[in-house]
Amino acid sequence: MKENKLVVLGAGGVGKTSLVLQFLQGFFSPTYKPTVEDCYSHTLQLPNGLFQALEILDTAGSHHFPAMRELSIRSGRAFVIIYAVNNQQSFYEAQELWKLITTVKGVDNVPVVLVGNKMDLSVEREVTWETANRWVLDAMTNATYLETSAKYNLNVTEVFKELLIRTFGLGKEEQVRKERRPSRIRLSLSDLSLTSRRKSSSAISTTSQATHTTASGISRAESVLSGGSGDVNHEDIATENEEEHCESDVNMLTAANTPSTPPNSTSMSSEISENRRPSNVKKFDNKCIIL
């Protein structure tokens, strides 16, 4: 893991040390103690899952050590500039610190987070959120404005995460990932639609084949019934036809020799007709012979 130096700058009494200790140790002390220079080491996990080793440099708020402050700026990779929202003068000093950073670094795209601390003192506020945010948008090119409360641990961790995101350009990668996501979704939907069309085509083809097979079977059956196939037993058909003719002749002869019967005696008529079958009609092997 590459170590990155983050430099905390600001006027005296704005809460630089309180913010750092709240982030590292979860501790807040209401007692003010001027800082000359303190250095802390910490490991922070970024939103992309990677871990970064940090070296946090807490600088003095007074102007008694200008050479030390300039050296800290020269060795720093990213910066946290802090002012107190209830102190207008600290906001002006934050603007001067930004000018000093651009002068020492020689560039104006240095990763910076401007922090308005003591947001819990809203009644004593002297610098509005709109004023500070407008200045960041107009004067800085790679910066973010956040308001925090070191006393109540509000937005403290977000300050350092945002600073690392700007330092390593993770915000741009996340934006590119979000821009590419819809195209991937459209590609997935098109693939799904193509798969559905293929399945539908396959189902239609299967149905067509089944219909063709059924039609072929009907055609073959018709050809068989019409005598086109040699599998039909013509003797059976002839026998059935002869039996039908025989029964017809018997019924005709029976009707001729049977007297008329009342309409309500249908069953009796059938029995009489069966008993009075002409003696000259004989049936051998399911064949009728008239003697």
d(CA 122, CA 115): 15
Strand pairing partners for 3?
53
**Is there a domain that residue 38 lies in?**
yes
Given this model, what pLDDT does residue 130 score?
A: 96
d(CA 212, CA 190): 33
Q: What percent of the residues of the chain are helix, what percent strand, and what percent coil, each to the nearest 5?
A: 55, 20, 30
Amino acid identity at 94: A
**194 part of a folded domain:** no
State the pLDDT confidence band at 165, using cuts at 50, 70 and 90: confident
pLDDT, position 285: 53
When pLDDT is averaged across residues 197-221 and rounded to a whole number, the result is 56
Contact 46, 69 (CB under 8 A): no
Q: Which amino acid is at 235?
A: E
Question: Residue 30 — very low, low, confident or very high, per pLDDT cuts 50/70/90?
Answer: confident
The domain boundary residue, chosen from 141, 174, 207: 174
Structural domain count, the chain:
2
Listed range (4-18, 201-215, 240-254, 264-278) with the worst mean pLDDT? 264-278
Same domain, 240 and 143: no
CB count within 10 Å of CB 144 equals 19
Are 50 and 138 part of one and the same domain?
yes
C-beta of residue 37 within 8 angstroms of C-beta of residue 59: yes
Q: Which two tokens stand for residue 67?
A: 């050479």
Q: How confident is the model at residue 276 (pLDDT cuts 50, 70, 90)?
A: low
> Parallel, antiparallel, or unpaired for β 51-59 and 112-117?
unpaired
In-domain check, residue 70: yes
Tell whether pTM > 0.75: no
* Continuous segment of H or E residues that includes residue 8: strand 3-10
Q: What is the pLDDT of residues 55-74, one digit of tens each?
A: 999 998 766 678 888 899 99
174, 191, 207 — which closes off a domain? 174
Contact 242, 281 (CB under 8 A): no
| 8 touches 56 (CB < 8 A) | yes
Given a cut of 50, is residue 232 above it in pLDDT?
no
Q: Residue 133 belongs to what domain range?
A: 3-174
Q: Is residue 214 part of a domain?
A: no
pLDDT band at 7 (very low <50, low <70, confident <90, very high): very high
In a domain, 9, yes or no: yes
CB 143 within 8 A of CB 114: yes
Q: What CATH number does residue 59 fall under?
A: 3.40.50.300
222 pLDDT above the threshold of 50? yes
- List CB contacts of 18: < 8 A, sequence separation 6 or more: 28, 29, 117, 150, 151
Above 70 in pLDDT, residue 138? yes
Query: 241-271, pLDDT tens digit by residue?
Result: 555 555 555 455 455 555 544 444 444 544 4
- Whether 161 and 280 map to the same domain: the answer is no
Does residue 291 belong to any structural domain of this protein? yes
Non-local (6+) Cβ contacts of 46 within 8 A are 52, 161, 164, 165, 168, 170
CA distance 130 to 214: 80
pLDDT of 111 above 90: yes
Query: Of 79-93, 157-171, 181-195, which gets the smallest average pLDDT?
Result: 181-195
- Residue 157 corresponds to which amino acid? T
Q: For residue 125, tell me if it sits in a domain.
A: yes
Tell me if 215 is assigned to some domain.
no
- Boundary (domain end) residue, out of 159, 174, 189: 174
